[in-house]
Amino acid sequence: MSSSRRPLIEIENLTVGFPDRAQPALVDLSERIERGEVVAITGPSGCGKSTLCRALTGFIPEMLPARVSGAIRIDDRSVWETDPAQLATRIGLVQQDPDAQICTLNVWQEVAFGPENLCLAPEEVRRRVEAALDAVSIAHLVERTTTTLSGGEKQRLAVAAILAMQPEVLLLDEPTANLDPEGAKAVFDLLDALRKREGRTLIVVEHRLGPLLPLGPRLLVMDRGRIVLRRPTRRHEDLVALGLRAHWEHRPPPVSPLAGMGLRLEEVSFGYESSSLIEQLSIDLCPGEILGVIGPNGGGKTTLLRLIAGLEKPDGGRVVRPEAATIGMVFQHPHQQIFERTVQQEFAIDGPMSPDAFERALCAARLTGLAKIAPFSLSLGEQRRLTIATTLRRAPDILLLDEPFIGQDRHNAAWIIAQILAACERGAATVLVSHDVPLVASLCDRVLYLGEDAIVGDPEVVFSELTLRGQTAFTPGYWEGKDA
Amino acid sequence: MITRLAYRVGTRGLHRASPAGNVLVLSGFLVAVLACPGVLVKIGALVLVLGLAVLSGEPLGTFLRNIRFVVIFALVLFIAQALSNRGGTPLFSLGVSITDQGLLAGAQMALRFLVILTSSFLFVLVTDPDRLAHTLIRLGIPYRYGFVFILALRFVPFFQHELRTVREAQRVRGIRTSVRNLAGLQRAVRYTFVPVLVSGLMRVDSIAMSMKGRCFGLHPRRTTTRKERWGGADWTAAALFAVLVGVAVLARRQSWL
């Protein structure tokens, strides 16, 4: 076979197992990826997508110890016989959390970091930095400190930092998971531009496949460590037919709202130093009602939850809660609200439980058999279920959820939705912050767009207004392929 | 407290000097207070630090507010020395005899502590840590060590954020941690620092992969593109260093008070 006909990446019977897990993360996986191809990889949480990314870049087993068998070759050269640093000149990985991959304190230095490590001439480093910043449209941020960037800006910076290395293959592991809809749209537009302009090989791990369709990707669906489906995909109908587009049933509006006051915000204002985040926001929430909060990164969504929870005092106005109301708050990252050494002890923080009640709680949270396990060793999905279960154990009158769906597959998302609905039926006034616009549209009774010129109202009214403003990324239509 | 102890962007005074120039100024202060025994030089050095802070755009009130704990600790040092040092001539009595030697020793120690801490604080305020690390690398420190410094600074705001969030999560869940007894302290450490540590370890893994994924360590040397220029402000800093060292030497020889 001549070298020109060889695939760029060849995976042969790859099996990867981690020391602390009985089941292998990847099982006898084989795949060929050609030059210039766009490949979209999807599948439920824990199916091995990130493991595959780390194996392709040589981090497994070099930096993350694992049992490996089979072979991965890039241009006929074994990945396992190559130093990951050397491999990085061929294949660049953009990780899920942009914050967790920024190594320096300044935008220019961050993009120059890779080329400088390659010992390129200073003129070449400068040229590459300028080109990479231009490619992701953040040349204006060149002098900024990395800690002052928004989530979207950080993700673009992470892509620019990899682009400056000029790898043949760009591998992106859920690049939009932490981004607001407009930030996510910008990343998808950027990928489209890279494919059209440079014909670069793109491998993208994503849950949200709709916006990737214009790139004409070859779809790989993974499940339990295997690729279970391979198919070129261009139409939203294909995703629907394959059951890959999350479709949430609209929640019927409550026939008669529960009586009383669930939560009231009276002309609440808040800001940091000279900048104002929330201005004279007034909302009345009935018991059992769900308010969905959407908006750009840094727009004040988490701050709003903190104000409601009493963790922050408003600069103006007031937050009125029913007397002796219990507040439950689910934080964005589950590990930030896990404190004990075992799952059982974690439940016991909120008071003693009978063995039967504890078993029922474990079963409801789909954590049966994990009572003695250290919570930090649970998967992200299991940690999320644990934190929601312990939060709801206190039967909160006000339930606050900050991006509970990040990193969760459809099954986990459906479980979370069921818990929210159960809490609402019991009368909890619920505030849900989420970037998942279609889900917010289907689940929430009212929507608050928190950004410049906040809007609050019925979902249809808010989304119509956002469409008129041209902020289509914040409308469900964009994500459901009606406006892609 | 950690937030206040951080670099601030500015264009005045020592902000105009390169990191190497600021290292010289800091070294000058350290030499001056450590080499000469007299209090007058230390008082002069302290006044000079405050003057340089104002010259560098830091309002005096803000600067003093930020170092208030340092001042309080210096006062404690002074009082402890004055009460415990019985040598010299007794001056008056506060239950225990206060001597001239005790007061002088207290003033020496408190002023030395104040000058070292305030000049270091000023150095942090006016020196871009990123540029400092690159300067150190250019001066011959292996770049792997230089980046340890940059990464340490990179983690400061992250740990602050994590710590705040974990404490808030405790408050929302009604967890009260007390450090009044050993069991309470142990619980507070476990409930606060374990989640923060887990976050830190997760981030360390990601950043290590990110660095390796951008060829960090591939070659024994790496390109340093941004070069620091030695300008007028640096010459002034060098002159200040020379003056401080000169005064220290003179004070030591002449046995100034």
B220 within some domain? no
Please, what's the b/e burial string for B141-177 (b: 16 or more CB within 10 A of its CB; e: otherwise)? eebeebbebbbebbeebbeeebbebbbbbbebbebeb
Encoding tokens for residue B128?
């871009």
Please, what's the b/e burial string for A94-113 (b: 16 or more CB within 10 A of its CB; e: otherwise)? bbbbbbbbbbbbbbbbbbbb
Number of domains in chain B: 2
**Does residue A30 register a pLDDT over 90?**
yes
The closest CB to that of B157, out of A92, A147, A327, belongs to A147
pLDDT score, position A123:
95
The answer to whether residues B117 and B30 belong to one domain is yes
B201 within some domain? yes
A382-431, pLDDT tens digit by residue?
Answer: 899 999 999 999 999 999 999 998 878 778 888 999 999 999 999 999 99
pLDDT score, position A262:
86
For residue A93, list chain B residues with Cβ-Cβ distance below 8 A. Answer: 209, 213
The answer to whether residues B17 and B114 belong to one domain is yes
Superfamily of domain A263-326+395-479: P-loop containing nucleotide triphosphate hydrolases (3.40.50.300)
Domain A3-241: CATH class, spelled out: alpha beta
The answer to whether residues B200 and B242 belong to one domain is no
The closest CB to that of A339, out of B165, B191, B219, belongs to B191
Cβ neighbours of residue A440 closer than 8 Å, sequence gap 6 or more = A292, A294, A432, A434, A447, A459, A476
For residue A309, list chain B residues with Cβ-Cβ distance below 8 A. Answer: 168, 172
B52-61, B102-111, B150-159: segment of lowest average pLDDT: B150-159
- Residue ranges of B 4-43 with Cβ closer than 8 A to chain A: none
CA A224/CA A313 separation, integer angstroms: 46
A104-130, pLDDT tens digit by residue?
Answer: 888 999 999 999 999 999 999 999 999
**Partner-chain contact A336 B147, CB within 8 Å:** no
The answer to whether residues B123 and B24 belong to one domain is yes
pLDDT score, position B7:
82
A401 interfaces chain B, CB cutoff of 8 Å: no
> Three-class SS of residue A416?
helix
Section A260-274 average pLDDT: 86
Provide, rounded to the nearest whole percent, the portion of chain B with pLDDT above 70: 97
The closest CB to that of B212, out of A85, A376, A390, belongs to A85
B137 within some domain? no
B184 within some domain? yes
Q: Choosing among B210, B219, B221, B226, which should be mutated to test the A contact, i.e. which has the most A CBs within 10 A?
A: B210
CA B213/CA B205 separation, integer angstroms: 12
B3 within some domain? no
For residue A391, list chain B residues with Cβ-Cβ distance below 8 A. Answer: 173
Q: Choosing among B154, B214, B218, which should be mutated to test the A contact, i.e. which has the most A CBs within 10 A?
A: B214
CA A384/CA B200 separation, integer angstroms: 19
Q: Is A3-241's fold the same as A263-326+395-479's?
A: yes
A80 interfaces chain B, CB cutoff of 8 Å: no
**Partner-chain contact B158 A122, CB within 8 Å:** no
pLDDT score, position B5:
67
Neighbours of B256 (CB within 10 A): 14
> Three-class SS of residue A220?
strand
Can you name the residues that pair with B93 across neighbouring β-strands?
B97
**Partner-chain contact A337 B208, CB within 8 Å:** no
B91 within some domain? yes
pLDDT score, position A280:
93
Section B210-235 average pLDDT: 89
pLDDT score, position A481:
65
Section A200-229 average pLDDT: 89
The answer to whether residues B87 and B176 belong to one domain is no
A142 interfaces chain B, CB cutoff of 8 Å: no
**Partner-chain contact A339 B175, CB within 8 Å:** yes
One DSSP character per residue, B180-198 reads SSHHHHHHHHHHHHHHHHH
For residue B226, list chain A residues with Cβ-Cβ distance below 8 A. Answer: 108-109, 112
Q: Choosing among A94, A102, A155, A336, which should be mutated to test the B contact, i.e. which has the most B CBs within 10 A?
A: A336
B68 interfaces chain A, CB cutoff of 8 Å: no
pLDDT score, position A213:
85
The answer to whether residues B121 and B148 belong to one domain is no
The closest CB to that of A104, out of B150, B205, B224, belongs to B150
pLDDT score, position B121:
92
pLDDT score, position A246:
61
B181 within some domain? yes
The closest CB to that of A57, out of B205, B211, B213, belongs to B213
For residue A105, list chain B residues with Cβ-Cβ distance below 8 A. Answer: 129-130, 150, 153-154
Tell me whether strands A218-223 and A429-433 are parallel, antiparallel or unpaired.
Answer: unpaired
B180 interfaces chain A, CB cutoff of 8 Å: no
Handedness of CA B138, B144, B149, B151 (dihedral sign): positive
For residue B174, list chain A residues with Cβ-Cβ distance below 8 A. Answer: 350, 394
Strand residues in A5-48 grouped as ranges (E): 9-17, 26-33, 38-42
B95 interfaces chain A, CB cutoff of 8 Å: no
Q: Which residues constitute the domain of residue B155?
A: 142-212
Do A182 and A195 meet the contact criterion of CB atoms below 8 Å apart? no
Section A199-215 average pLDDT: 86
**Does residue B2 register a pLDDT over 50?**
no
CA B59/CA B64 separation, integer angstroms: 9
**Does residue A190 register a pLDDT over 90?**
no
CA A39/CA A37 separation, integer angstroms: 6
A333-382, pLDDT tens digit by residue?
Answer: 898 899 998 999 999 998 889 999 999 999 999 898 889 988 988 888 88
The answer to whether residues B169 and B76 belong to one domain is no
Could you tell me which of B42, B25, B48, B45 has the C-alpha nearest to residue B111?
A: B42
How is chain A split into domains, by residue range? Answer: 3-241, 263-326+395-479
Encoding tokens for residue A430?
């619920």
The answer to whether residues B188 and B240 belong to one domain is no
Section B22-45 average pLDDT: 90
Section A28-33 average pLDDT: 96
B256 interfaces chain A, CB cutoff of 8 Å: no
**Does residue B234 register a pLDDT over 50?**
yes
A243-247, A442-446, B19-23: segment of lowest average pLDDT: A243-247
pLDDT score, position A94:
92
The answer to whether residues B101 and B156 belong to one domain is no
Section B105-123 average pLDDT: 93
pLDDT score, position A306:
94
The answer to whether residues B208 and B244 belong to one domain is no
**Does residue A8 register a pLDDT over 60?**
yes
CA A200/CA A91 separation, integer angstroms: 11
pLDDT score, position A255:
54
Please state, rounded to an integer, the average pLDDT across all residues of chain A.
88
pLDDT score, position A400:
97
**Does residue A269 register a pLDDT over 90?**
yes
The answer to whether residues B47 and B120 belong to one domain is yes
> Three-class SS of residue A72?
strand
**Partner-chain contact B226 A109, CB within 8 Å:** yes
**Partner-chain contact B216 A86, CB within 8 Å:** no
Selection from A95-99, A189-193, A367-371, B236-240 with the highest mean pLDDT: B236-240
A121 interfaces chain B, CB cutoff of 8 Å: yes
B186-192: long-range contacts at Cβ-Cβ below 8 A with a sequence spacing of 24 or more? B190/A339, B190/A341, B191/A339, B191/B166, B192/B163, B192/B166, B192/B167
**Does residue A484 register a pLDDT over 50?**
no
pLDDT score, position A247:
62
Could you tell me which of A446, A479, A477, A444 has the C-alpha nearest to residue A462?
A: A446
The answer to whether residues B120 and B236 belong to one domain is yes
B225 interfaces chain A, CB cutoff of 8 Å: yes
The closest CB to that of A349, out of B175, B218, B223, belongs to B175
- Residue ranges of A 152-191 with Cβ closer than 8 A to chain B: 161-162, 165
pLDDT score, position A234:
78
Provide, rounded to the nearest whole percent, the portion of chain A with pLDDT above 70: 94
**Partner-chain contact A117 B130, CB within 8 Å:** no
Section A274-302 average pLDDT: 90
**Partner-chain contact B194 A339, CB within 8 Å:** yes
Tell me whether strands A429-433 and A226-232 are parallel, antiparallel or unpaired.
Answer: unpaired
**Does residue B4 register a pLDDT over 50?**
yes
Which residue in this structure is represented by tokens 């670099």?
B7
The closest CB to that of A119, out of B166, B208, B221, belongs to B221
A376 interfaces chain B, CB cutoff of 8 Å: yes
pLDDT score, position B1:
39
B150-193, pLDDT tens digit by residue?
Answer: 888 778 878 888 899 999 999 998 887 777 788 888 888 888 88
A44-73, pLDDT tens digit by residue?
Answer: 877 899 899 999 999 999 888 899 999 999
